[in-house]
Amino acid sequence: MQGLYKYLEGSSSTLDAEVYTKASMVAMSHSVEKVVKEYNLYADIYVLFQEYKFFLYERERYLELDKVCRQIFVFAKDIPDNAAQDFEKTTFINLSDDSPLLKEWSVIVVHPDYSAVLATKEDPTLQKINKDDYRIFKGFLSLDAEVAENLAKYYHNLLEQQGVFYSKEDWQPEELNNKKTELKKLISLFINDSLFELEDKLRSLEEKEMRLDAMVADNKELSREIMQKPGKLTAEEYEVMQNYPEIGAKILEGSHSEVLNMAYNIAYSHHEKWDGSGYPQGIKEKEIPVEARIVGLADVFDALSSKRVYKDAFSRKKCVEIVSSERNQHFQAEILDILLENLDEIYDFRRDLKEFSDSKTVREISDYFFSVDFSIFEFLKMREMLNS
């Protein structure tokens, strides 16, 4: 079976550019859907997501559409058995691992008074910024009823192959809303809604950058002095240091990547303490993300056992005495025990790392470690064990 985007070859699109960012495509898809809700259209919607996790960001929107539409069909990979909970007119169809549709994303609306087709196909080779909103898609948009009906037939074949029921009947007069869609108003609504969503995203990004720039500028000069200071920090300097978790978190927030979300938790919470006396939030025990609890202990042990501008490296015995004295105060006992039980391996690794690093440039070291496969799944197993 060929993909939907391939099926559209030869059809005329109203979009001028060949490729668009995900943010633009999302804004247009929301506009397509908003027309249905604005005019209370008893429509058929066929929507394709690459994976079910992406549908979850739109779930509330589709719960609203479920109350309005005649029937909705959601196609995606990895749909759970309980996906249809709370929906009355929406059917979920799982895509197989080899489906050509997994690289695509589309919304098709079919109704006697309004039809729309937004179809996209991802092209990862064109993506330049490694953020979800900047994923690149080829885009196709049409408000032509014939194009929409042809694509509906494409989906009908897919539904029949899987034995899924769908309504084939024409709309009855009593099912149609007398509030007809006026072309000028429709175009205005579509364009303005898309632009508003894009502008809103841009303004949010702009405000975030301005806040971050201000925080960094305010602390830049003083922070350089603090990091190089050989003695004890003053109260003012310590207060500046307490801003760093928030600055780091601001840089990492808002990602759909599980790894970057973990990095956000680490940046924001690795100075929290098990007894609640840490910063910046003062949270305690298992309120602290487990990844932050682990890195918090690793950070302290590394600082104790390494030479710093304000101290010499402490002996292994002294490091163990200091962290052990913070059991269930600064550190969770279970995580502390794991560290202490594996100290020989940790010190061997530190020695091997030093030997490896001595013969490499900073760039070579970072290239090596960022190329190593990171198993998020193994970490999640450990997190479940520690939180149980």
Instruction: Quick: pLDDT tens for 291-316.
Output: 999 999 999 999 999 988 778 999 99
Q: Is 320 inside a domain boundary?
A: yes
Q: Are 158 and 285 found together in one domain?
A: no
**More confidently predicted of 15 and 327:** 327
The CATH number given to whatever domain includes residue 67 is 3.30.870.10
Query: Which string of DSSP letters, residue by residue, matches 242-294?
Result: TTHHHHHHHHHTT---HHHHHHHHHHHHTT--TTS--SSS---GGGS-HHHHH
The answer to whether residue 301 sits within a structural domain is: yes
Asked if 155 and 37 sit in the same domain, the reply is yes
Say how many CA atoms lie within 13 Å of 144 toward its Cβ: 12
Q: Is the residue at 201 inside a domain? A: no
Q: Is residue 237 part of a domain?
A: no
Instruction: Determine the pLDDT at residue 376.
Output: 46
Q: Which long-range contacts (CB under 8 A, 24 or more apart) does 358-365 make?
A: none
Domain boundary among 135, 165, 195: 165
Cβ of 171: how many Cβ atoms within 10 Å?
A: 16
Q: How far apart are CA 264 and CA 119, in angstroms?
A: 33
Calculate helix-pair angle for 258-269, 290-305, nearest 10 degrees.
60
Q: Which domain holds residue 327?
A: 242-387
Give the helix ranges, DSSP H, for the chain. Answer: 4-7, 22-38, 52-55, 59-68, 145-161, 183-228, 235-241, 244-252, 258-269, 290-305, 316-324, 333-341, 343-358, 362-371, 376-387
Output the pTM of the full model: 0.52
Torsion 237-239-244-245 (CA) sign = positive
23 and 160, same domain (yes or no): yes
**Residue 255 domain-assigned (yes or no):** yes
Domain boundary pick from 112, 138, 165? 165
Q: Which two tokens stand for residue 365?
A: 């070291």
Looking at the domain assignment, is residue 191 inside a domain?
no
**Backbone angles phi and psi of 265, in degrees to 5:** -60, -40
**Is 23 among the domain residues?**
yes
Last residue of a domain, one of 165, 185, 218: 165
Report strand pairing: 90-94 vs 104-110: unpaired
Structural domains in the chain (count): 2
Residue 215 lies in a domain: no
Q: Give the CATH number for residue 302.
A: 1.10.3210.10
> pLDDT tens digit string along 132-187?
767 788 888 888 888 899 889 989 988 998 899 988 887 776 666 655 556 545 55
Rg, the chain, Cα only: 27
* Residues 68-113: tens digit of each pLDDT: 999 999 999 999 999 999 999 999 999 988 888 888 889 999 988 8
